[in-house]
Structure 1
Amino acid sequence: MNHGIKLSQHIFWIGVNDRRTHLFENLWPLDKGISYNAYLIRDKKNVLIDTVEIGHVESYFDAIDEILESGENVDYLVINHMEPDHSGALKLITQRYPDITLVGNKNTFKFVRGFFGDFKRILEVVEGDTLDLGDHSLTFVMTPMLHWPETMMTLETKNQILFTGDVFGSFGTLDGVLFDDEVNLDDWEPEQRRYYSNIVGKYVKQTQRALEKLKTVNVRMFAPTHGLIWRQHPDHIVNLYDRWSRLDGDPGVVIAYGSMYGRTERMAEYIARELILAGIRHVKVYDASKTHLSYILSDIWKYRGLIIGSPAYNNRLFPTIEALTIKLEQLHIKNRLLGLFGTATWSGGGVKNLIRFAETTGLEMVHPPHEAKYRPLEKDYEICRDIAGRMATRVKNDE
């Protein structure tokens, strides 16, 4: 992808695409890669907005060199977020431009010192502070815990471009595109939702506070650190974030199960068919041992109904289902209708721990949990049919 793509006459995207890294944060699959977006404002005072992951620093420097004239200085580096995929090149930048001033808030510099040591040339900003560059000026908007304590946004006021950090970002590389009006937005939504639900999703209250704050800020364009730049339809991503942070689910059901020898799986398949027969048109069935939980979480964020099945495993939940329930507890999942089922042989423990999960999260169960002994028999399938029927009724009535 070409470097130095213009957002306006003197504001440039200088990011990179990463198609080599397999796991974001060494945890989340990057089947479609990811972009690290960074920006350069050229003015009487030249400003970098964030850096890139350190493995891509050569491309980042090349982009800067293509825009600036030989010997031209960079005066400021604005640090919206200190996570290393955005601050990785910080130390190299300060070595390249020894007179550069780092711009951030009080928490930013705690992270700077922790990661890189002390720097003498820093400018600490608070909510509403401005920085004059010449023809452009920057105003700073604090958005703590989206999704680190130091996160903030930076508004360039002339063109009304808001550099939003990780907020409004997405998994996926920018394959020859950069702006939202260059793509089919429906194609991007799954990776935007997977990014939100797994990276930012825990902080729904902070998301709502930030969205309220942005109503008072005049913004024409959102420029996040991952994914598309929103120049034509910024309201689209705002509406998605509002819906996701409220956990307003679409009329559909996710069935997530674990199964060693297929008995719990049979119950999951039966429930899925009964949901379809009951009129639910969006049913997603996941074997938690096969599908990474980030994709399961993304669809749980999308749909109103959630049905979880697990066999007993050493008196506990099946491990991949246990991992899913722990993550859902950490994310403070709410506003979901819940169904629970499973199998046991001699001691049980799967459904018992699913009940504990339901009690911890406070999710509403549409049917008493059911555990089949040894293998599901006709009486167990009748109960599965009832679980599906009650779930379908509630999902359709809650539309």
Structure 2
Amino acid sequence: MSFKINDTVTWVGKIDWELRTFHGEEYSTHKGSSYNSYLIKDEKTVLIDTVWYPFAKEFVANLKKEIDLNKIDYIIMNHSESDHSGALLELMKEIPNTPIYCTKSGVKILKGHYHKDWNFVEVKTGDSLNIGKNKLTFVEARMLHWPDSMFTYLSGENILFSNDAFGQHYASELMYNDKVDQGELFQEAIKYYANILTPFSKFVVKKIEEVLSLNLPVNMICTSHGIMWRDNPLQIVNKYMEWAKDYQENQITIIYDTMWNGTRRMAEAIAEGIKSSNKDIVIKIFNSSKNDKNDIITEVFKSKMVLVGSSTINNGILSSTAAILEMIKGLGFKGKKGAAFGSYGWSGESVKIISEELNEAGFEIISEGIKELWNPDEEGLSRCREFGSNALEKIQENTYI
């Protein structure tokens, strides 16, 4: 399948309707994804990126229908991760001497992946390549989200090939942002940012400011995953700037796991206490053993405060709670408050462990937490409601409950 974007650029990627996890099992892709590759036909012919290796043979076969492979003058690798470069091995069997343009880090990573000494051409920010009526300009985008990442700008057509930035894991044959369901689009976009780009937010702000300072006209943003932005394309750039600056909505997220429903009942009572004090605040409750971890992380990203609960087991915490806390810690959220809760039988370490993990993750700990022995009775649930009400008050304060 190919898709003509305009007289110069053709999409030659692959829509992966069946994909359900990405980065191994680390990222859920409920809506599938796409691996976007682009063919530019000017006086010179340029291929930007390839597709994931399971589709390599299909990719090369389809590309042959578009063009004689020997007429491809340059290959641009904006990013070396396998979902972008996976078809290179198959393609380079056909055109082994074609120059591959990428960053210095890109050369190292491609050699590390494929152990081939292809005809690499290192580029840096500001380098350009004249291809006829149009010109390609390269902009390094280090740590968005790998060290080798870069953007490629096509002047004349005014298209920014943005690689992983501004993308989504979202399969759609409609291809463009103005054609797809807007709720689905922006949910997948914020999930993508929250789970992949959050740790690199300071680089996001710096790089966007750098690109905007160039005053380049942008008619379209062609991403490496998901749909392309042609209707008001800078709207997603503005969203990234918003998301990158310690983003918060008027929301509290409660995450828990439970053995015999004691901690679940605590979570629900805490939510009741919050709601009784402020009916307008959004409260979302997730059992971390039953809900998708990336969907939970997206809600953490949106929240002012996160309350985490677990039963105590073997002097520790339940495995799903440990896993979600490890994800939260790795993503480096900023400006969020947190506290712990949990039920226990005889030792009761879970609240202390969760508080320590949240503190290590950079959360402002608003209290020493709350724990209830065995299955909380009505007095215990009342204490949980009070805990929730008090937690709400601390959203704007720095003192302990």
Q: Does TM, scored on the shorter chain, surpass 0.5?
A: yes
Q: In the alignment, is residue 195 of structure 1 matched against residue 224 of structure 2? A: no
| Aligned match of 1:61 | 60
The separation in 2 between residues aligned to 1:83 and 1:186, in whole angstroms, is 28
Q: 1:112 aligns with which of 95, 110, 116?
A: 110
Which of 101, 104, 120 aligns to 1:103? It is 101
- Specify the alignment match of 1:151 in structure 2: 149
> 1:274-297: CA deviations, max 9, x gaps?
333331442211100101211100
Contact 1:181/1:233 (8 A) holds in 2 = no
Inter-partner Cα distance in structure 2 for 1:25 and 1:327:
14
Aligned to 2:212: 215
Residue of structure 2 in register with 1:329 after alignment: 329
1:205 maps to 2:202: yes
Kindly provide the amino acid, as one letter, of the partner of residue 7 in structure 1.
I
The superposition leaves residues 184-234 of structure 1 with CA deviations (integer Å, 9 ceiling, x where unpaired) of 322212221222211222211111212211212312321110011111122
Q: Retained in 2: the 8 A contact 1:163–1:224? A: yes
Q: Work out the CA distance in 2 between the residues paired with 1:313 and 1:242.
A: 42
C-alpha contact 1:315 1:348 (8 A) present in aligned 2: yes
Equivalent position of 1:260 in the other structure:
259
SS across alignment from 2:250 = strand
Task: State whether residues 13 and 38 of structure 1, in contact with CA within 8 Å, keep that contact through their aligned partners in structure 2.
Answer: yes
Deviations 1:270-325 (A, max 9, x none): 12233333314422111001012111001111222211111112111211111111
Question: How far apart, CA to CA, are the structure 2 residues paired with 1:356 and 1:233?
Answer: 44
The answer to whether the 8 A contact 1:79-1:104 is kept is yes
Q: Summarize deviations over 1:7-54 as a string: whole Å, max 9, x none.
A: 331111111111223311111222211111110101121111000011
Comparing 10-19 with 71-80, which one deviates more in the overlay?
A: 71-80
Which of 361-370 and 162-171 deviates more? 361-370
| 3-state SS of paired residue (1:206) | helix
Where in structure 1 are there 5+ consecutive unaligned residues? none
CA distance in 2, matches of 1:105, 1:254: 40
Counterpart of 1:390 in structure 2 is 390
Contact 1:337 1:391 (8 Å CA) reproduced: no
TM-score (norm 2): 0.93
Match of 2:28 in 1: 29
Deviation at 1:240, TM superposition (A): 2.1
Partner of 2:306: 306
Q: Give the aligned residue type for 1:33.
A: G
Matches within 5 A, 1:225-264: 225-264=224-263
Structure 2 CA distance for partners of 1:189 and 1:120, relative to 1, 3 Å: closer
Q: Report the Cα distance in structure 1 between the residues aligned to 2:302 and 2:51, rounded to whole angstroms.
A: 30
Q: In structure 1, how many angstroms separate the alpha carbons of the residues matched to 2:156 and 2:165? A: 21
Please list every run of 5 or more consecutive structure 2 residues that lacks an aligned counterpart in the other structure. none
Q: In structure 2, what residue type is equivalent to 1:389?
A: S
What is the alpha-carbon distance in structure 1 between the residues aligned to residue 358 and residue 59 of structure 2?
A: 47
Residue by residue over 1:344-367, the C-alpha shift from the partner in whole angstroms, topping out at 9 and shown as x without a partner, is 111122101012123213322344
Q: How does 1:133-152 map to 2 (within 5 A)?
A: 133-152=131-150
Q: Which residue of 2 aligns with 1:182?
A: 179
Contact 1:170 1:226 in 2 (8 A): yes
1:9 corresponding residue in structure 2? 7
Q: Partner of 2:296 in structure 1?
A: 296
**Higher mean C-alpha deviation, range 386-395 or range 178-187:** 386-395
Equivalenced residue count is 394
Root-mean-square deviation (CA, aligned residues, Å) is 2.0
Q: Provide runs of 4+ in structure 1 moved above 6 Å.
A: none
2:16 is matched with which residue?
Answer: 18
1:180–1:233: 8 Å Cα contact kept in structure 2? no
2:155 is matched by which residue type in structure 1?
A: T
- 2:353 equivalent to 1:353: yes
* CA–CA distance in structure 2, aligned partners of residues 395 and 180 of structure 1: 36
Q: Is the 8 A contact 2:355 2:368 kept in 1?
A: no
C-alpha contact (below 8 Å) 2:332/2:361 kept by paired residues: yes
Question: Could you tell me which residue of structure 2 aligns to residue 52 of structure 1?
Answer: 51
Counterpart-to-counterpart distance in 2, 1:320 and 1:71:
49
Match of 2:166 in 1: 168
Following the alignment from structure 1 to structure 2, what is the Cα–Cα distance between the partners of residues 359 and 306?
Answer: 12
User: 1:125 corresponds to which residue?
Assistant: 123
State the match for 2:363 in structure 1: 363
Q: Alignment partner of 2:199: what SS? A: coil
CA distance in 1: counterparts of 2:327 and 2:72, whole angstroms: 42
Contact 2:351/2:370 (<8 A) preserved: yes
CA separation in 2, counterparts of 1:397 and 1:215? Answer: 36
Do the aligned partners of 2:100 and 2:118 also contact (CA within 8 Å) in 1? Answer: no
In structure 2, the CA distance between the partners of 1:66 and 1:204, relative to structure 1 (3 Å rule), is same
